[in-house]
Amino acid sequence: MDKATLTRVLDDIHRAAMLAEDRGKVADYIPELARIDPGKFAMSICLPDGSQYSVGDAQVEFSIQSVSKLFTLAIALGRYGDRFWDRVGREPSTFVFNSVQELEARQGIPPNPFVNAGAIVTTDSLLVGAQPKETLAEILQFVRLAASDESIFMDPSVAQSEKRTGHRNWSLAYFLRACSNLHHDCELTLGTYFHQCAIAMTCEQLARCGRFLAGFHPTGGLISPAHVRSINALMMTCGHYDGSGEFAYRVGIPSKSGVGGGILAVLPGKASIAVWSPGLDAHGNSLLGTVALEHLSNALGLSVFSLGSDR
Ligand code: GLN
């Protein structure tokens, strides 16, 4: 990747983002997130040679929310291997990310680990033989190792906020329990899930976190190559919920979004990219984050479906 071109494209993306009028709508069903300034924007890219390029508010912390589902899945696959898939599917979802209808239609087997129901089951699986505190410590340790940064933390005020107002997640948990696909009390599993979603990170930290999925983490071997491949495939097909097809069409990079406005995108062997803009589109994905990744992908021919000369 040509560094001068990369720097210029990042500057172009930043300028366009600052001028954008339609910035989407900040998630307001979690009161702590409703207070975030929609004017914020950041992008950061890690390359295999250890270099990192950033623009905008790349050192401002934000709530990673559903991007955390990558890390819990990585841990769960390591612990259970293919047995994990007895409880969760590997297909894209049709409805919104917290749909009860979708779960009911599938008799309590969530379509994939990236919609809320699937992530709640994933967290439930990590609680087997452990207290919530231990599971949260395990998740935090994984994330800190991935980012090579011991300072990453969980924001308890965001977790508490969602605990009070995340009524849909309570519905999903009770429905899963009714279908025998939740093995702990709803309170226990959701308490853990809300805390994992409340991990705070800067865009620079998040980009570093993605290196293990891009195949160039400095200490290597966080998870097996087979699990990297599985997770990246699911990011491409399910990482943006019911907007995943559109995202693959426009951007073409395996990615995972969160309602905090963050997106982590990974190109195996080439780059780990994080973007943050808090305003969301109708599917709950960062509106300007998607525009920024589309711009980057087009400018540098990064879509995995691209011949590199499609401009
Ligand atoms: N904590 C959020 C929720 O469960 C995460 C959702 C998301 O980021 N899409 O609703």
Residues 134 and 184 in one domain: yes
Name which of 224, 223, 249, 227 is nearest 236 in CA terms. Answer: 249
Residues 91 and 110 in one domain: yes
What is the CB < 6 Å shell around ligand 1? 65-66, 97-98, 116, 162, 166, 169, 197, 258-259, 284
Active site residues: 66, 69, 193, 241, 259
Burial of 20 (0-12, 13-18, 19+ CB in 10 A): middle
Residues 114 and 172 in one domain: yes
Residues 152 and 213 in one domain: no
pLDDT tens per residue, range 38-55: 999 999 999 999 999 999
| Rounded distance from Cα 130 to ligand 1 centre (Å) | 23
Residues 50 and 77 in one domain: no
Residue-range definition of the domain harbouring residue 249? 3-65+201-302
Give the nearest ligand 1 atom to 169 CA.
Answer: 4
Decide: 138 and 194 in contact? Cβ < 8 Å: no
Average pLDDT rounded to a whole number, residues 5-17: 98
**pLDDT for res 220:** 87
Instruction: Give 309's Cβ-side CA count (13 Å radius).
Output: 0
Residues 192 and 205 in one domain: no
Site to probe by mutation for ligand 1, drawn from 121, 162, 283 as the one with most ligand atoms within 8 Å of Cβ, is: 162
As a whole number of angstroms, the distance between CA 40 and CA 250 comes to 23
Give the nearest ligand 1 atom to 168 CA.
Answer: 10
What 8-state DSSP symbol labels residue 55?
A: E
pLDDT tens per residue, range 274-299: 999 999 999 999 999 999 999 999 99
Residue 168 belongs to domain with CATH number = 3.40.710.10
Strand partners, 199: 154
pLDDT tens per residue, range 65-111: 999 999 999 999 999 999 999 999 999 999 999 999 999 999 999 99
Q: Of 29-33, 40-44, 72-76, 176-180, which gets the smallest average pLDDT?
A: 29-33
As a whole number of angstroms, the distance between CA 126 and CA 76 comes to 6
In a domain, 311, yes or no: no
Examine the pLDDT at 311 and tell me if it is beyond 60. Answer: no
Site to probe by mutation for ligand 1, drawn from 64, 116, 164, 257 as the one with most ligand atoms within 8 Å of Cβ, is: 116
| Rounded distance from Cα 67 to ligand 1 centre (Å) | 9
